[in-house]
Structure 1
């Protein structure tokens, strides 16, 4: 995205999908970001994906689209999920459609997942939340949940270990819950550091709590933003998406 175009679309709505969501481009701290915000209640449409019914992993957004198409469904939106292990399994808590596949990880280790505090993005019938791992004590049935890290924003404050101007920059994607309880996904258009990405959620998107999902390989499927799921050879583990009946006019 050029600097001129970014300035023109600093927080402009590019398109609105057929359901309750808004796709926008945001220019923040010298970088461009694509943002996908769901309306209140639309978090119930989010689905988590890892493996097909035969136990084989989807592996990519493109493969997920093809599998959905054979079942008469259409992918409307998707991002890759949280950080995963070297064995290509979820690194921490993972619940899909009410079934828990991996338990909550409270220990320490290396890498971004263990840049504490880390956290959990989860959905119940009452809505969606992002919380620190230590605060994950849901009282309601969990429909979907994923643990990742680090937290980007914690109760209105930036992660304490983020440094402005830090040299480590990557493509990054994450999820936050804004002050109205709406789920917001964002991905950078170019490499950024954690400080820039965290302040996007805290200052621009008004999310008191936000969670990092993944880095360099991250991708988004959002035709309204001219994003089509990344490169074919990038292997994902879990993915988060929204689907519709194939006949619904929700994408070009």
Structure 2
């Protein structure tokens, strides 16, 4: 390889992580603190649940250990949907084209069953789709995670959210831009209500559709902010993959 080609390759590799990984930052909305990570279409955004040996990852560290074998690592990550006691997904989960859970459209107990709920779908672009609409015309998602409730539906807050609610938790979720080119993942840094969290996406981030992932167990991995939240093993995890180093 010539010297100039070697220099070009080295420059491309040096730039690749900065292009691909999420941009994470702290922000305030209505007096509450949040951390948001913005991902652009073209980034290597994946769902992680089951490793090649059949074991459930359960942690950011185990995902990173798995990626290291191919010279990669997580750029950012967070928990990405609700799960049963055995950490199997509650609803639809597609991981690198493999379906690991089925779509659920019926109303049910708990936050997941508070319809409308929805699906984060990852293709070349991003979408948050209400679950019953998803069932009628399923897109070809490379990765997908169903959760609930929807936080924002076509610019409107979920109809069951109460402005004066006293139910407060650390919460996390994802919103998608109208053109599908940007996905913004957010976690609250203090306990907030559903109404407050939904307003972050609609009013603070100007995103027309957003989906709740979970509360109380919500965790973020954002090395650029020096953050690696610990806790009990998780179910689905979402994150960007970047070259190691």
TM-score computed with the length of structure 2 as normaliser: 0.87
Counterpart in the other structure of 1:192:
192
Unaligned segments of structure 1, at least 5 residues: 1-16, 248-252
Structure-2 separation of matches of 1:241 and 1:135 = 25
Counterpart in the other structure of 2:160:
161
Counterpart in the other structure of 1:55:
54
Structure-2 separation of matches of 1:100 and 1:129 = 18
Counterpart in the other structure of 1:95:
94
Counterpart in the other structure of 1:29:
30
The answer to whether the Cα contact below 8 Å between 2:41 and 2:126 also exists between their aligned partners in 1 is no
TM-score computed with the length of structure 1 as normaliser: 0.85
Structure-2 separation of matches of 1:214 and 1:84 = 10
Instruction: Compute the displacement of 1:123 (Å).
Output: 1.3
Unaligned segments of structure 2, at least 5 residues: 1-16
Counterpart in the other structure of 1:217:
217
Counterpart in the other structure of 1:133:
131
> Quick check: which has more Rg, 1 or 2?
2
Structure-1 separation of matches of 2:227 and 2:179 = 26
Structure-2 separation of matches of 1:226 and 1:246 = 16
**Cα RMSD, aligned residues only:** 1.6
Instruction: Compute the displacement of 1:70 (Å).
Output: 4.1
CA gap 1:155/1:95 in 2 versus in 1, 3 angstroms: same
Deviates more, 1:113-122 or 1:178-187: 178-187
Matched residue of 1:19: which SS? helix
How many residue pairs end up in the alignment? Answer: 226
Counterpart in the other structure of 1:203:
203
Counterpart in the other structure of 2:80:
81
Instruction: Compute the displacement of 1:226 (Å).
Output: 2.9
